[in-house]
Copies of this chain bind each other. A is one copy, B any other.
Amino acid sequence: MDAAKLIDGVLSGDRRAVARAISAVEDGSPDLEQLSTGIYASTGRAATIGITGAPGVGKSTLAGELVRLARDRDLSVAVLAVDPTSPYTGGALLGDRVRMQEHATDPGVFIRSMATRGHLGGMSLAAPEAVRILDAAGYARVVVETVGVGQAEVEVVAATDTALVVLAPGLGDAVQMAKAGILEAADVFVVNKADQEGASEVVRELRQMLHLGAVRDWDPPVLAVSARLRDGVDGLWEAIEEHRRHLEASGELAVRRRARLLHEVESLAAERFRREASLVLAADPALVESLEARRLDPYRAAAMLVREAAAAPE
């Protein structure tokens, strides 16, 4: 399938084209730039929701509930499950997950796992493009679910409109999360497995920690739910919608999207530049030799490289 056909397929919501386009993002395909250009005008309509939290807190079950709630409201919905990738083999060991089976035959639902196999800049740069593909394909809601709660995954979730941070009794306490900078990323806190012992303590601890934070326009609510028992999930849906209304009414949506966009462009440019810097280094054995002989330190070498690459012809 060539890039033009792929773009047409994505824009018409063809599932096979959408899947291939996301694979192109994962692989860092040469078609990526053309694909990005072709779909960009058709993006910005989906409401994007991120889900992060420690392994075992029930993020997938929660994502499944959001799918159900969206479908109950006749909204099409896509789920992008972001898996950590190996920086060494470049391969993901997880394939698309066999789960959310009940939605498998629903044409209004698209579920996809994603890793990065070649995209420059890793998941934090690949995920936003994959989200745009789902957005351009017409899904009204795009849910981005992370496998774990590392810094890269928080970055991915922070690039959605509404970020859910999920906790559960006995897993990933609030202090640990605060350390990793996760609390600041949350628009809505979900204490899942609310039917289990210790859930109210997690809610209390979380509320105490939040009181220590800066006062903001939007006070992230803390919701106790049980996704498995479908308890409290309607309230969660309402909180997500309310956050969205807040973003739109306050003008924050445009401000956030602009900041995200500029950050993404800077990062993409930096990654492109890294590739050029690598070529300049490869073509300059004297510079490499100075580095190895410890006559030139990495910081000065980097500064030289920026100057050299800038001076190099296109």
Q: A residues touching B (Cβ–Cβ < 8 Å)?
A: 32-33, 36-37, 39-41, 43-44, 55, 83-89, 92-94, 122, 128-129, 147-148, 150-152, 154-155, 158, 176, 178-181, 184-185, 258, 261-262, 264-274, 276-278, 281, 288, 291-292, 294-303, 305-307, 309-312, 314
Chain B residue numbers with a CB within 8 Å of A43 are 294
Nearest 7 Cβ contacts at the A-B interface: A86-B181, A150-B150, A268-B302, A88-B184, A40-B297, A270-B274, A273-B273
Chain B residue numbers with a CB within 8 Å of A296 are 40
- CB pair B155 A152 closer than 8 Å: no
Say which residue of B92, B154, B309 sits within 8 Å of A269 (CB atoms): B309
- CB pair B281 A277 closer than 8 Å: no
Q: A93-B179, A269-B301 are in contact. List 4 more A-B contacts (CB 8 A).
A: A84-B181, A270-B277, A272-B302, A310-B314
Q: How many copies of this chain does the complex contain? A: 2
Chain B residue numbers with a CB within 8 Å of A272 are 302-303, 306
Q: Which of A37, A301, A311 has the most CB of B within 10 A?
A: A301
Say which residue of B179, B264, B295 sits within 8 Å of A84 (CB atoms): B179
Q: Which of A184, A265, A307 has the most CB of B within 10 A?
A: A265
- CB pair A268 B84 closer than 8 Å: no
Say which residue of B269, B271, B281 sits within 8 Å of A265 (CB atoms): B281
Can you spell out 17 A-B residue pairs with CB atoms less than 8 angstroms apart? A36-B300, A40-B296, A40-B297, A87-B181, A88-B181, A151-B152, A261-B298, A262-B278, A262-B291, A266-B274, A266-B278, A268-B301, A269-B274, A269-B309, A270-B277, A272-B303, A273-B274
A298 CB to closest chain B CB (Å) equals 5
A306 CB to closest chain B CB (Å) equals 5
Chain B residue numbers with a CB within 8 Å of A33 are 299-300, 303
- CB pair A294 B86 closer than 8 Å: no
Specify the chain B residue showing the minimal Cβ separation from A261: B291
Chain B residue numbers with a CB within 8 Å of A309 are 269, 273, 310
- CB pair A180 B269 closer than 8 Å: no
Q: Which of A94, A178, A302 has the most CB of B within 10 A?
A: A302
Per the bound structure, the CA–CA distance linking A94 and B180 in Å amounts to 10
Per the bound structure, the CA–CA distance linking A277 and B267 in Å amounts to 9
Chain B residue numbers with a CB within 8 Å of A92 are 179
Per the bound structure, the CA–CA distance linking A147 and B292 in Å amounts to 31
Chain B residue numbers with a CB within 8 Å of A276 are 306
A82 CB to closest chain B CB (Å) equals 12
Say which residue of B36, B83, B181, B305 sits within 8 Å of A89 (CB atoms): B181
Per the bound structure, the CA–CA distance linking A288 and B265 in Å amounts to 10
Chain B residue numbers with a CB within 8 Å of A179 are 83-84, 86, 92-94, 147
